[in-house]
């Protein structure tokens, strides 16, 4: 059977606190359809001060995820042309779809506040059967700008990637790798 994800790459974008908890580091992991790493990009730590945190308020995480990490990391990818899908850890970052060329989606984690996701009228959530996730089904959230046809394309691609990998799992790899990076390099602390 020909897998539509064969030879194509999927990206995972996550942003995590620095070790000193005063800032954030973004990481973008690109893998093949078997989950093997193909490229990894990180941002230098972003450390908003107290006033900045205050002024940005609730938009801070979105600003960091989209403007300060998502776009720069995506643009710095060497494998950008082979990337067909970018999965973002936070549904607020789905607006990246407006500024990058590949498809963007969010995999709803098992413990994620589903109420927040489902009740938001602007967001669409689709259910996908997935053999490689613990719960055997996967909830995918698309940007509000994706209409039915684009959602279908996205759905097929995600389905083909789930054949060999758990799409929620690579985020924990990014987190672990960033943790190792920050312990090994003061620049990333």
Partner 1 sequence: MSSLLKMNSLHKGTAKLHAWLLDRFALEPSTMVDASDNNQISASDTRAIENVTLQVGEQYPIDLSNIQIPGSRKGLTDYKDIGVLRLGLLNLDEFDDEFRSRFTYTKRDWGKAINDFRQDIIEYFEPITATSTAGAIYHSQDRSRYSENQLYPNMREYCKHGLDRRLCYLCRQERENSKYKPASTESISRFGFLKPYLYPPIDQSLPSTTLFIHGLYPYPYQWDGIRFLVHHEQALLADEMGLGKTIQAIVALRSRFRQAKSKRVLIVCPKSLLGTWKRELGLWAPELSVQTISGPVDERLHMWQSDVHVFLCSYETLRQDVGYVQSHPNWIDSIILDEVQRVKNPETLAHHAVLRVAAGCRWGLSGTPLENKIEDVEAVFGALGLRLVINDRYSWNTKEIREVISPVILRRRIADVEKQLPPKQAQEIWLELNPRQRATYLAEENSGVSSLQRPGATRIHVLALITKLKQICNYDPISNSSCKLDYLTEALDEVIELGQKALVFSHYPNVTLRAIQSKLTRYQPSIFDGSLTSDERDRIIYAFQNNATPKVLLMSVQAGGLGITLTRANHVFHYDHWWNPAVAKQAEGRAHRIGQSKTVFVHHLYVSNTIEERIYDLLVKKQNLFDAVIDSLSTDTIVGKLSDDDLFGLFGLQAPVTEKRTRKP
- Dig out the tokens for 188 from the structure: 């990333």
Q: How far is the CB of 69 from partner 1 (least distance, A)?
A: 8
Does position 48 bind partner 1 by CB under 8 A? yes
Q: How far is the CB of 118 from partner 1 (least distance, A)?
A: 27
| Alpha-carbon 188 to chain mean position | 20
Rounded Cα distance between 19 and 187, Å, is: 12
Q: How far is the CB of 59 from partner 1 (least distance, A)?
A: 11
Does position 78 bind partner 1 by CB under 8 A? yes
Question: Judged by CB under 8 A, which of 10, 64, 95, 100 binds partner 1?
Answer: 64
Rounded Cα distance between 162 and 35, Å, is: 10
Q: Which of 139, 130, 137 is nearest to 107 (CA)?
A: 139
Q: How far is the CB of 47 from partner 1 (least distance, A)?
A: 9
Does position 44 bind partner 1 by CB under 8 A? yes
Instruction: Compute CA distances 169 → 35, 68, 69, 78, 153, whole Å.
Output: 9, 24, 20, 23, 22
For residue 159, the 8-state DSSP code is: H
* Contact call for residues 151 and 161 (beta carbons, < 8 A): no
Q: Could you identify the residue written with the tokens 């989950």?
A: 35
Q: How far is the CB of 158 from partner 1 (least distance, A)?
A: 17
Q: Could you identify the residue written with the tokens 């759905």?
A: 155
Question: Judged by CB under 8 A, which of 5, 10, 15, 41 binds partner 1?
Answer: 41
Does position 152 bind partner 1 by CB under 8 A? no
- Residues in 14-33 at the binding interface with partner 1, rule: CB under 8 A: 28-29, 32
- Dig out the tokens for 99 from the structure: 């500024």
Summarize as ranges the residues that interact with partner 1 (CB under 8 A): 28-29, 32, 34-46, 48-57, 63-64, 67-68, 71-73, 76, 78-79, 164-165, 169-170, 173-174, 176-177, 179-181, 183-185
């Amino acid at each position: 059977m020909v897998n539509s994800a064969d030879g194509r790459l999927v990206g995972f974008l996550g942003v995590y606190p620095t070790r000193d908890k005063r800032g954030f580091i973004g990481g973008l992991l690109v893998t093949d359809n078997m989950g093997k790493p193909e490229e990894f990009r990180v941002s230098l730590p972003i450390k908003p001060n107290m006033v900045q945190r205050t002024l940005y308020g609730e938009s801070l995480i979105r600003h960091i995820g989209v403007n300060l990490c998502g776009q720069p990391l995506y643009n710095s990818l060497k494998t950008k042309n082979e990337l067909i899908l970018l999965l973002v850890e936070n549904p607020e970052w789905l607006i990246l779809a407006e500024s990058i060329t590949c498809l963007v989606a969010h995999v709803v984690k098992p413990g994620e506040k589903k109420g927040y996701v489902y009740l938001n009228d602007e967001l669409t959530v689709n259910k996908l059967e997935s053999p490689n996730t613990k719960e055997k089904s996967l909830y995918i959230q698309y940007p509000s700008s994706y209409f039915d046809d684009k959602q279908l394309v996205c759905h097929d691609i995600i389905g083909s990637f789930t054949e060999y990998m758990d799409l929620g799992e690579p985020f924990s790899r990014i987190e672990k790798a960033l943790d190792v990076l920050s312990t090994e390099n003061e620049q990333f602390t």
